[in-house]
Chain A
Amino acid sequence: MTNSLRCTLAAAAILAAAHSPAAETAYRVPPENVFPALGAPSHPKVEIAWNRYYDVDGLNGFLRALAAAHPDFARVVKVGESHQGREILALEVTNYKVGDPATKPAMYIDGNIHGNEVQAGEVVLHTAWYLLEMRENVERVGQLLDNSVFYLLPSINPDGRDYWFDNPNNPHTSRGGQIPTDNDLDGLVDEDGPEDLDGDGQITQMRRRTPFGTHKPDPQFPDRLMVRVGPDERGEFEVLGTEGIDNDGDGEVNEDGPGGYDPNRNWAWDWQPEGVQGGAHRYPFSLPETRAVRDYVLARPNIAAAQSYHNAGGMILSGPGREGAVVHDGDASLYKLIGERGEQMLPAYDYLITWKDLYTVWGGELEWFYGGLGILCYTNELWSNDNLHRTPDPDANARMRFVRDVLLDQGFTAWTTHTHPQYGEVEVGGTHATFGRVPPSFLLEEEMHRNTVFTLFHAEQMPRLSIGEVAVERLGRGLSRVRADIVNDGLTPTRLQQDVENKITPANSATITGRGLKVLASGIVTDRDHGRVDFQHDRPERLRVDAVPGNGRVTVEFIVSGDGKGTLRFEAMKGGLAEKEFEVE
Chain B
Amino acid sequence: MLKRRAWRALAAALAVMTGTAGAEGYRTAADTEQVLRRAAAANLDTFEFSELARDAADNPVWLFRAGPERPGGPAMLVAAGLDGRHIVGSEIALRFIERLADGSEESEKLLSEHTIYVVTNMNPAGLATWFDSPTRAHSGSTGASDSDHDGESGEDLAEDLDGDGAIRMIRVKHPRGTHIADGKDGAFARPADAMKGERGEWLILSEGRDNDGDERWNEEEDGAVSVARNFPTDFPWFEKGSASNPADQPQVHALIDFLYDNPQIGTVVVLGTEDNLLTAPDPEKTTDPDVKGGRWGRKPSSLPNKNDLPLLRKVAEEYRKSLGLKGEVSTPGASDAAQGGLARFASVALGRFAVATPVWTSNMQLALLPELSDEEKKALPENGEIAKLQRFRDWLVERDPQGWAAWKPIKHPDFPDHDAEAGGFAPHARIVPPPALLDDLATTHTLFLMETARRAPKVAIESAELKRLERGLFELRLAVRNDGFLPDVLHQGVYSSLVRPTRIEIEGADVLDGPERIKLEPLAGNGGRTEMRRVVHLNDGGKTLTVRLVSDMAGRDERVLRTDDAE
Contact = CB atoms under 8 A, between A and B. Distances in A.
Contacts of A539: 212-214
Interface residues of B, number: 49
A60 to B, nearest CB: 27
Interface in A249-279: 249-251, 268-269, 271-278
B248 A285 contact: yes
Among B146, B492, B497, B519, chain A packs the most CB atoms within 10 A around the CB of B497
B247 interface: yes
Interface stretch (A22-30, A161-169, A472-480, A497-505): A497-505
Contacts of A360: 297
A250 B515 CA distance: 5
A249 B246 contact: no
A283 B516 contact: no
A504 B260 CA distance: 31
A186 B500 contact: yes
A248 B148 CA distance: 56
A283 B253 contact: yes
A283 B519 CA distance: 26
A556 B499 CA distance: 59
A274 B232 contact: no
Contact of B500 (A187, A278, A362, A503): A187
B530 to A, nearest CB: 18
A273 B248 contact: no
Interface string B328-356: 00000000000000000000111100000
Contacts of B257: 282, 286
A276 B503 contact: no
Contacts of A509: 151
A71 interface: no
Interface string B252-263: 010011001000
A225 interface: no
A294 interface: yes
A121 interface: no
Given A273-B348, A372-B237, A506 B150 contact: yes
Interface string A487-508: 0000000000000001111110
Contacts of A268: 232, 235, 245-247
B300 A182 contact: no
Among B238, B348, B517, B552, chain A packs the most CB atoms within 10 A around the CB of B517
Given A275-B295, A278-B295, A539-B213, A506 B256 contact: no
Chain A at the B interface: SS class = loop
Nearest to A272: B300
B149 interface: yes
B3 interface: no
B498 A283 contact: no
Contacts of A285: 245, 247-248
Contacts of B503: 186-187
A278 B225 CA distance: 29
B215 A283 contact: no
Contacts of B149: 503-507
Contact of B260 (A278, A282, A362, A505): A282
B500 A185 contact: yes
A75 interface: no
Interface string A40-57: 000000000000000000
B90 interface: no
B378 interface: no
B496 interface: yes
A527 interface: no
Among B146, B298, B496, chain A packs the most CB atoms within 10 A around the CB of B298
Given A282-B256, A286-B247, A294-B245, A275 B517 contact: no
Nearest to B494: A275
Interface in B471-497: 492, 495-497
Contacts of B213: 538-539
A544 interface: yes
A158 interface: no
A387 B149 CA distance: 48
A502 B496 contact: no
Given A285-B248, A286-B247, A506-B149, A273 B517 contact: no
Contacts of B299: 276
Contacts of B260: 282
B519 A276 contact: no
Contacts of B516: 249-250
Contacts of B498: 185, 273-275
Interface in B499-513: 499-501, 503
Given A275-B497, A285-B248, A503-B149, A537 B215 contact: yes
B496 A372 contact: no
B387 to A, nearest CB: 39
A306 B303 CA distance: 35
B361 interface: no
B500 A502 contact: no
Nearest to B147: A503
Contacts of A187: 500, 503, 550, 552
B295 A276 contact: yes
A284 interface: yes
A15 interface: no
Contacts of B121: none
Contacts of B300: 272, 276, 362
Among A249, A283, A294, chain B packs the most CB atoms within 10 A around the CB of A283
Contacts of B215: 537-538
A540 to B, nearest CB: 10
A471 interface: no
A251 B515 contact: yes
B539 interface: no
A539 B495 CA distance: 53
A509 B150 CA distance: 10
A500 to B, nearest CB: 10
Among B212, B238, B245, B552, chain A packs the most CB atoms within 10 A around the CB of B245
A298 interface: yes
Contacts of B351: 275
Contacts of B496: 273-275
A298 to B, nearest CB: 7
A287 to B, nearest CB: 11
B244 interface: yes
B139 interface: no
Interface in B299-329: 299-300
6 contacts: A248-B517, A268-B247, A283-B246, A286-B256, A286-B257, A362-B300
Instruction: List 6 tightest A-B contacts by C-beta distance, closest first.
Output: A506-B151, A503-B149, A273-B349, A251-B515, A275-B496, A283-B247
Interface of A: 182, 185-187, 248-251, 268-269, 271-278, 282-286, 294, 298, 360, 362, 371-372, 502-507, 509, 537-539, 544
